[in-house]
Structure 1
Amino acid sequence: MKKILLLLAISSLSFTAVAKVPYTATAECRFDYDDFDFCSKHSIAKYKTALAKQSPNYDATKILLNVGSPRYMRYVVIDTQTGVVFPLRDAILGFKDARGSLNGEPALIQFSVDQPQLCIEGSVYAYRDAYDNVKVCYLMEKDSRLKYGQQMRRVDIPESLK
């Protein structure tokens, strides 16, 4: 009898490790003066697919996902425990030349399943807040005033690389 209970306990633990959480909500659909829609049908389909098929690749229990394009990256952090999606306000671009045009060198994106920080080297853009050829890092920060209790924010001022 003890063996059966032990097997049931182990199987229920392994089931919860494999069980996928469905998409719940997106914390922010649009940012001021930004026409990218994080709540579009296309974006939500990407979130659902990631939750169903991907393992966490960022900060132990989260999925970092680019829902933009390879040249104009729009990152979101998907919490695999709640199904809530947290968009990054900044658009990530590659490096720029002296005239402000993209020079073809892609942005460097550094993150890990073992670390809570996302660091970018390249250019970042948000309305009235654009920086070319910088290093900047982001982190999920708790904020009880927000509907979902946290958001993805810059943890430092972008540092020039040149």
Structure 2
Amino acid sequence: MLAAFACLGVACRNGAAGQGEPAQQPGQPGASAASPDGASATHRRPPGNAPYAGVIINYPHSGCSFAYSPVDFCDADHRAQIETAIRTQAPNFNRHYLLAVLQERKAYFQQSIVLIDSRDGTVFPLPIDAFSGRLAGTGGATSEGTVETAVDSDTFCVSGALLVYRAFEQGRFCFGFDGQRFTGHPTQYMN
């Protein structure tokens, strides 16, 4: 059974990469200082979480954004949110992934989702711009959307409105992850 939850946001490093390549590796300019185990001196990761290792987007993209998307998963804000998730969350999806909800446009209740492999620190963004609660007519969303996940489940579901390539779609959308690409509900960025 999937349990509803909300989690802390996350973020990425600056840099551009080709399809399927990490955006930035530890030790490159912009990488954060960490102790030998990858945790900062003041914050410790839950046992077993690997340090941040970079963003992989296995769909058409430009740098750390899906093609034509305004969301840059490697900017400083996203990177800070990802680092926070690695430090504070235990795996909550498919045994070893951290499903982290990131803040995007707070005034519009918009958030994004990334999966972080707790074994190696690789970050995989869900191919959407954002999700929110259901839209209320022309006024937009009045609440955040919900995410259902479980550590022993191989699917997670998002309820509310998905924003993908300047278009909204409302409902309950379920996704899986095969280790490289998302499965389940197709989005425009998956083409």
With the length of structure 1 as denominator, give the TM-score of the two structures. Answer: 0.71
Superposed CA offset, 1:66-125 (max 9, x none) = 12245101110100011100001221111113x343252442321111212111121111
Partner residue in 1 for 2:41: none
Partner residue in 2 for 1:139: 176
Partner residue in 1 for 2:32: none
Deviation at 1:157, TM superposition (A): 5.9
Which AA in structure 2 matches 1:138? F
Are the structure 2 counterparts of residues 157 and 41 from structure 1 closer, same or farther at C-alpha, using a change threshold of 3 Å? closer
Counterparts of 2:50 and 2:186, CA distance in 1: 34
Q: In structure 2, which of residues 162, 168, 182 is the aligned counterpart of residue 152 of structure 1?
A: 182
Partner residue in 1 for 2:86: 51
Q: Kindly report structure 1 stretches of 4+ aligned residues shifted beyond 4 Å.
A: none
1:101 pairs with 2:139? yes
Deviation at 1:128, TM superposition (A): 5.5
1:78 pairs with 2:113? no
1:24 pairs with 2:56? no
Q: CA RMSD in A?
A: 2.3
Does the CA contact (< 8 Å) of 2:99 and 2:115 recur in 1?
yes
Does the CA contact (< 8 Å) of 2:102 and 2:112 recur in 1?
yes
Deviation at 1:156, TM superposition (A): 3.2
Structure 1 unpaired stretches of 5+: 1-16, 143-149
Counterparts of 1:45 and 1:106, CA distance in 2: 21
Partner residue in 2 for 1:38: 73
Are the structure 2 counterparts of residues 156 and 114 from structure 1 closer, same or farther at C-alpha, using a change threshold of 3 Å? same
Q: Percent identity?
A: 25
Counterparts of 2:85 and 2:147, CA distance in 1: 19
With the length of structure 2 as denominator, give the TM-score of the two structures. Answer: 0.61
Partner residue in 2 for 1:130: 168
Aligned residues: 132
Partner residue in 1 for 2:35: none
1:110 pairs with 2:139? no
Superposed CA offset, 1:11-32 (max 9, x none) = xxxxxx9344111110131012
Structure 2 unpaired stretches of 5+: 1-45, 58-63
Over alpha carbons, which structure has the higher Rg? 1
Which AA in structure 2 matches 1:44? R
